[in-house]
Structure 1
């Protein structure tokens, strides 16, 4: 019996959100029960932001369209389409889109994104 050497993802897991952000996880814990890596396609609406977090995983972000703001260790970084960033694990970071257009991007987490390891701070 031949073992298939690839997986095509046609039905990513759409993560339920309450902030207007669209998250389609193609590979990862929620979609394919993988712990090593997660790959998600995201669309953040204008004015969107998340609380600060200090995840136990690395996160790579590639901007497809629009702009995204990163607050990393009290430094504000703004990326535009065609740019990317790697945030090291155990780094306090806040992701946001304070701009007037949506931001479309890909996020890759190593190991995979895990709600129990993201350590989001309480919103106040």
Structure 2
């Protein structure tokens, strides 16, 4: 039995806001509930509603910039920077800029819609 898993066909999460979400490991692909790893591309002017997730989220910016509003603090990260946002913290993710933002998101436990707790837009 192999002690590794190669993922060459990530699950592309259907979206209606132009954001690309490719889950490599997690609930949708490997049925893992302890961690999810996703590659994302947020288009210019994209944003999500505020949410209070029940998971820690690590984000690493590959290209572009991404804005985070964490509770009442606004933070902007650029390529090469990363952040960990602890679970049960109110946050909004957005890309209010003119260029795409490409990044990797890792959630522990794994991302699932029932753990996101998104607010009404």
Report the TM-score when normalising by structure 2.
0.99
Extract unaligned runs of 5+ from structure 1: none
Q: State the match for 1:22 in structure 2.
A: 20
The partner residue of 1:101 within 95, 99, 102 is 99
Q: State the match for 2:114 in structure 1.
A: 116
1:13 deviates by 0.2
Structure 2 counterpart SS, 1:32: coil
Q: State the match for 1:71 in structure 2.
A: 69
What is the CA RMSD across the aligned residues, in angstroms?
0.3
Question: Following TM superposition, where does structure 1 have runs of at least 4 consecutive aligned residues deviating by more than 4 angstroms?
Answer: none
Counting only pairs closer than 5 Å after superposition, residues 19-98 of structure 1 correspond to structure 2 as 19-98=17-96
Report the TM-score when normalising by structure 1.
0.97
1:54 deviates by 0.2
Give the number of the structure whose alpha-carbon radius of gyration is greater: 1
Residues 56-103 of structure 1, C-alpha deviations (whole Å, 9 max, x = no match): 000000000000000001100000000000000000000000000000
